[in-house]
Amino acid sequence: EAQVTQNPRYLITVTGKKLTVTCSQNMNHEYMSWYRQDPGLGLRQIYYSMNVEVTDKGDVPEGYKVSRKEKRNFPLILESPSPNQTSLYFCASFHSGSSYEQYFGPGTRLTVT
Amino acid sequence: AQSVTQLDSQVPVFEEAPVELRCNYSSSVSVYLFWYVQYPNQGLQLLLKYLSGSTLVESINGFEAEFNKSQTSFHLRKPSVHISDTAEYFCALNNFNKFYFGSGTKLNVKP
């Protein structure tokens, strides 16, 4: 089954404790992206990657890191989480040069206390 | 700068009534436009998209949207809604591989 998976689905952590949210897709998509969803703000793009070893900033990259060492994986790293990073995070992917149809993961709800 | 504005945060409507969800965008260059739907506790699913060609695009479940370049709008319409259409709808644009989303419109279909 074609899908985007994220882990963990729920995470409660404390300020300053480094964490990684994993994202993996099995569709051989070149493009992968991370978004955060906050009430009243919709989705905002954090980082995206056009292919392996190619990443770029979205609208709200501060406080986040990403890497794209393999085509299928695109982890999101919070080196020192803060309470304002409490949010619902989505990973998405699509095949470059196609119809721009993004496939979204199920989401990761992160709470930073 | 690119941006997407969804003017209505919530739209209540009775079943079988028509509905329009409004979306306006701001961009100095050509863009691709999308509508996504999010059902409770789920990720987003693509509903329909405008990339080029006909300005009227349709989805498989009866929604349609019209790209209007002069008014910079991409409103979503359905002539008769069902209870199952209750969800949050997001308008989005793509420009140079970046995506920009609106703040979302919650459609609440009442029996």
| Averaged pLDDT, B31-43 | 91
* Residue in chain A nearest B7 by alpha carbon: A40
Q: Which tens digit of pLDDT belongs to each residue from B47-104?
A: 999 988 888 988 988 999 999 999 999 999 999 999 999 999 999 999 888 899 999 9
Cα–Cα distance, A71 to A51 (Å, whole number): 7
Label residue A44 exposed, middle or buried (CB < 10 Å: 0-12, 13-18, 19+): middle
Q: Is residue A45 within 8 Å of A31, Cβ to Cβ? A: no
Grouping H, G, I as helix, E, B as strand and the rest as coil, residue B39 is coil
- Most B CBs within 10 A among A60, A104, A109, hence the mutation to make, goes to A104
Q: Which residue has the tokens 């069902």?
A: B82
B10 touches chain A (CB under 8 A): no
Q: Is residue A75 within 8 Å of A22, Cβ to Cβ? A: yes
Find all residues with CB under 8 Å of B52, minimum gap 6, and list them: none
Whether residue B1 is predicted with pLDDT greater than 90 in this model: the reply is no
End-to-end CA separation in angstroms for chain A: 36
Q: Is residue A96 within 8 Å of A30, Cβ to Cβ? A: yes
Nearest-CA neighbor of A69 among A20, A108, A11?
A20
Band of pLDDT at residue A98, cut at 50, 70 and 90: low
> How far from B94 is each of A22, A89, B4, B35, B97, CA to CA, in Å?
24, 19, 10, 11, 6
* Residue in chain A nearest B103 by alpha carbon: A42
